[in-house]
Structure 1
Amino acid sequence: MHLGHGATERHWLPLGGWYHASKYGVEALSDALRIATAPFGINIVVAEPGSIRTEWSAIAARDVKENATGSAYSTLVNGVAKTLTASSQPDARTTSATKLIDKTIVKIVRTRRPRSRYRGGFGSIPMLFLHWLLTDRVFDALILRAFAV
């Protein structure tokens, strides 16, 4: 089972290209393995839980500020750091609790023939829908606005 970032093939954060490139790569590997291992009865499942409330966001916020403050990206850095910090708080409305991952994994393990992809959690499905509905330029503008840029 590959536990992905959350709708990774169509979701990204500003300044996170390096991170999302690795996630896309692992997702592509999972998709390829699903086909290659199917003849042996092995199910490869990608779980994309969306934004989960963990300390990762606070760490990422700190790191982006340490490495990019004072650069040409200062405005974007501040917006990204502010959003990431807020999403790591216990009462954050823009993230899901870690229990969501637990429930999803249990569901996958208990399912005789699991789907190849499970999505859920805050932002996962709505973000995919918005990306499908909007042009790239409009979606980009929406993301920049969400990060106060």
Structure 2
Amino acid sequence: MKTVLVTGASSGMGYQIAQRLAQTGYQVFGAARHVERMEPLAAVGVIPLQLDVTKEESRTAVVHQLMERGQRIDAVVNAAGYGSFGAQETVSDAEAKRQFEVNVFGLMALNRLILPYMRTQHAGRIINISSIAGRFSSPLAGWYFASKHALETLSDSLRMEVRSFGIQVILIEPGVVKSRWEAIAMHHLDEAVAGTVYEDQAHAFQQNMDRTYASQHASEPAIIAQTVQKALESKHPRPRYVVGYLAKPIVWLTHWLPTWLQDWLIPQLM
């Protein structure tokens, strides 16, 4: 039985990932700030742990509990994260820093704690849940997109650093996936632009986002869970998995279109 730590397991993709892996025979430790939201997962064998990825003592405690109870760590799935939207002129320094603390610094700090155990085992997989946002940019979401660009770059670097130790680093890049993520991002957008010159732009942006996430084509979180399992079980996993509604078309467009055309097109899509 392989032991997997899944962060952000209290909702959305993290919840679905923890549930699916537990149901298919993994020993799963689900970690999140709100432990009570993981209670239903106990029915399928998920072991809940309290974790705030931004706090060093919390990260250390989780890894200690995991190794004490699981004896080893075969994989970590970093699904904890959130989207903080807003114009760069209006987003506070504190919120910008928190976006990076959760999506980048806390995530990578947890990986640092786990890496020595994986090196000792000469085996392990680190799966970072990124986003297609790590491939391009968008108005009114610069700090979120920047955090995903940072995660992508750090993951690429880490993959090359630890390959000789038998450790594989994998990025999952979801497109449009149904979850609480969009509502949280739009709440931050409302707060950031209220009473500013960006309100009208934000209103149009929000209408486009609501329409996209309400689409019948928007992917269910289960598709991400399936992809994570595939990445865990593949003999030769890909460095990146682009998955979910609009993911591949957007990545293709932003790779091939000139910048001036992207600047016009992306606000129409987001």
Alignment TM-score > 0.5, same fold: yes
Whose relative contact order is higher, 1 or 2, with alpha carbons under 8 Å and at least 6 apart?
1
Deviations 1:27-77 (A, max 9, x none): 111111100001111110111121211111112112212220331212221
Structure with the bigger percentage of strand: 2
Select the structure of larger CA radius of gyration.
2
Selected match of 1:70 from 161, 186, 195 = 195
Matched, 1:34 2:159: yes
Change (3 A) 1:134 1:78: same
Q: Secondary structure at the match of 1:122?
A: coil
Partners of 2:212 and 2:252 lie apart in 1 by 21
Matched, 1:138 2:261: yes
Asked if the contact 2:173/2:243 (under 8 Å) is kept, the reply is: yes
Partners of 1:83 and 1:94 lie apart in 2 by 15
Asked if the contact 2:169/2:239 (under 8 Å) is kept, the reply is: yes
Match of 2:234 in 1: 111
- Matched to 2:249, the amino acid is P
Identity of aligned residues (%): 30
Matched, 1:60 2:185: yes
Deviations 1:119-144 (A, max 9, x none): 12112110111112321111111122
Matched, 1:126 2:249: yes
Two-structure CA RMSD over aligned residues (Å): 1.7
Change (3 A) 1:8 1:93: farther
TM-score by length of 1: 0.87
Q: Secondary structure at the match of 2:143?
A: helix
Q: Secondary structure at the match of 1:43?
A: strand
Q: What runs of 5+ residues in structure 1 fail to find an aligned partner?
A: none
